């Protein structure tokens, strides 16, 4: 029977771990999105042979483990869990190997050089440890620490910058944690982020002719070490560039020089955007005809145009679906699992009656925002109940079409902030 492996974390919709592990070993690899209170029971369930752990649970899992590797104990962080034959759980940290491989691939030669590590979260701790192992002088830069972004002039002699913050990560691209003009002696910039392929920080470096690498090879390297722990079989380190190249081609549509391969294939596709699904319930296709004094005179086609324009303004991808049938809406919600970042739903009449739609939203656990064109709170008493709203993070009602625009903006902001919090945990 194939080994049962996978990844646990808080939000995994964009994870490339299954694709990476498929190139490293012959075992099952599934994604498990868990709430924090589900982590312990899942680990105790015995339904896996090996797991990777990602944000925000790398520290959460530690109390549930029977033994830690030296690296995991030193870093206080676990990203790989093995269920041994006697049922006990062993925790290891392969992120440190990934960080070392990133530094090796950069060719920067860390020994004796000052390295600024941006960010004090788990990735920052790992970078600090890796730099120390290689004989570098690691300085942690954080927002509130002794060494911070306001006194970078103290480190004008720094030669390497390593970003362990989420600044510049999709979907909140176009930002950089530092201005490289303040660090004129930097000769190499490494970023743990790999989506987008080139963050604003890496673009700055490239414009200055500075070596710039993203974190994709680090991701592949830590996966290789995890795969070895899963299977007990040694893999050659020299396959890391090969696997990184293949994953880069799948992720980006080309091989950017920021992954360290040094050549490109095709023209890059547009940067990834958040994918939102807009679901409109029964009778909304009759807009402009149905009760215009309540819903307005603009038709459904006008609503679709407004939604698409709002999505373009927000810089997100949008897909719209409308049905007068409860089961079709449930099927659409279920079909969104694994390929949709957020749902905007106007359940219309099903708002007040459909437990099935509520259960579907809860089942997929995709962040959702409820929208109503009319002010339901001022209408008939039965419209005061919203089952779907019980599974939504926010409701916009009584704003007409504008409610959809606000829902798109709110959902994007929510996802961006949630990603940043998880990355820093």
Classify burial at 88, counting beta carbons within 10 Å of its beta carbon; exposed 0-12, middle 13-18, buried 19 or more: exposed
Given this model, what pLDDT does residue 382 score?
Answer: 66
* pLDDT per residue as tens, the chain (425 positions): 789 999 999 888 778 899 999 999 999 999 999 999 999 999 999 899 999 999 889 999 999 999 999 999 999 999 999 999 999 999 999 999 999 999 998 988 999 999 999 998 889 999 999 999 999 999 999 998 899 999 999 999 999 999 999 898 877 788 899 999 999 999 999 999 988 888 999 999 988 888 999 999 999 999 999 999 999 999 998 899 999 988 888 877 667 778 865 433 333 334 457 889 999 999 898 886 766 665 667 788 889 999 999 999 999 999 999 999 999 999 999 888 877 889 999 999 899 899 999 999 998 889 999 999 888 777 677 666 888 989 999 999 888 899 999 999 999 998 877 766 555 55
In terms of DSSP bridges, do strands 89-92 and 67-68 run parallel, antiparallel, or are they unpaired?
parallel
The answer to whether the CB of 147 falls within 8 A of the CB of 155 is: yes
Comma-separated ranges of CATH 3.40.50.9100 domains in the chain: 275-421
Coil vs helix vs strand at 219: helix
pTM above 0.85, yes or no: no
pLDDT at position 233, please? 95
What is the H or E stretch that residue 221 is in? Answer: helix 216-231
Give pLDDT, residue 333: 93
pLDDT value for 329: 94
Which pLDDT does position 424 carry in this prediction?
55
DSSP 3-state assignment of 201? helix
Nearest to 162 by CA among 131, 206, 208, 194: 131
Range(s) of the chain covered by CATH 3.40.50.720: 97-218+255-269
3-state secondary structure of 278: strand
Q: Per CATH, is 97-218+255-269 categorized as 3.40.470.10?
A: no
Topology, domain 275-421 = Rossmann fold (3.40.50)
Provide the pLDDT for residue 341: 87
Q: How far apart are CA 415 and CA 337, in angstroms?
A: 16
Write out the H or E segment, with its range, that includes residue 139. strand 137-141
In this prediction, residue 240 carries a pLDDT of: 93
Q: Where in the chain is the domain with CATH 3.40.50.10860?
A: 1-93
Termini Cα distance of the chain:
36
Just list the catalytic residues.
295, 372
pLDDT given at position 422: 53
Q: According to the model, what pLDDT value does residue 232 have?
A: 95
Q: What is the pLDDT of residue 336?
A: 86
Looking at the domain covering 1-93, what would its CATH class be? alpha beta
**Residue 176 structure tokens:** 């950089």
């Amino acid at each position: 029977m194939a080994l049962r492996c996978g990844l646990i974390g808080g939000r995994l919709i964009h994870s490339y771990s299954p694709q990476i592990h498929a190139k490293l070993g012959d075992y099952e690899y599934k994604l498990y999105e868990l709430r924090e209170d589900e982590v312990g029971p899942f680990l105790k369930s015995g339904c896996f042979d090996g797991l990777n752990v990602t944000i925000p649970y790398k520290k959460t899992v530690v109390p549930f483990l029977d033994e830690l590797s030296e690296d995991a104990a030193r870093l206080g962080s676990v990203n790989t869990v093995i269920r041994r034959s006697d049922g006990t759980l062993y925790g290891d940290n392969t992120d440190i190997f990934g960080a070392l491989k990133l530094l090796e691939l950069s060719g920067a030669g860390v020994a004796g050089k000052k390295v600024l590590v941006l960010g004090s979260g788990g990735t920052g701790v790992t970078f600090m440890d890796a730099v120390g192992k290689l004989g570098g002088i690691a300085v942690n830069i954080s927002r509130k620490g002794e060494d911070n972004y306001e006194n970078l002039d103290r480190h004008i002699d720094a030669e390497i910058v390593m970003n362990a913050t989420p600044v510049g990560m999709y979907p909140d691209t176009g930002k950089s944690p530092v201005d490289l003009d303040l660090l004129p002696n930097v000769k190499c910039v490494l970023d743990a982020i790999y989506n987008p392929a080139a963050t604003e920080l890496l673009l700055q470096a490239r414009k200055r002719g500075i070596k710039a690498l993203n974190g994709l090879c680090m991701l592949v390297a830590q996966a290789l070490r995890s795969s070895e722990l899963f299977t007990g079989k040694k893999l050659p380190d020299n396959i890391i560039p090969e696997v990184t190249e293949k994953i880069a081609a799948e992720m980006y549509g080309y091989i950017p020089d920021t992954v360290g391969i040094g050549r490109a294939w095709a023209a890059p596709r547009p940067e990834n955007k958040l994918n939102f699904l807009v679901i409109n319930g029964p009778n909304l296709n009759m807009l402009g005809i149905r009760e215009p004094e309540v819903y307005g005179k603009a038709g459904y086609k006008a609503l679709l145009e407004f939604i698409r324009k709002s999505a373009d303004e927000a810089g997100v991808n949008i897909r719209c679906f409308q049905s007068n049938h409860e089961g079709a809406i449930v099927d659409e919600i279920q079909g969104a699992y694994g390929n949709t970042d957020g749902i905007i739903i106007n359940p219309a009449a099903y708002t007040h009656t459909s437990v099935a739609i509520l259960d579907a939203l809860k089942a997929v656990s995709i962040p959702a925002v409820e929208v109503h064109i009319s002010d339901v709170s001022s209408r008939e008493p039965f419209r005061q109940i919203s089952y779907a709203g019980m599974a939504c993070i926010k409701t916009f009602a009584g704003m007409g079409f504008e409610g959809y625009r606000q829902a798109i903006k709110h959902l994007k902001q929510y996802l961006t902030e949630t990603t940043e919090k998880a990355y820093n945990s």
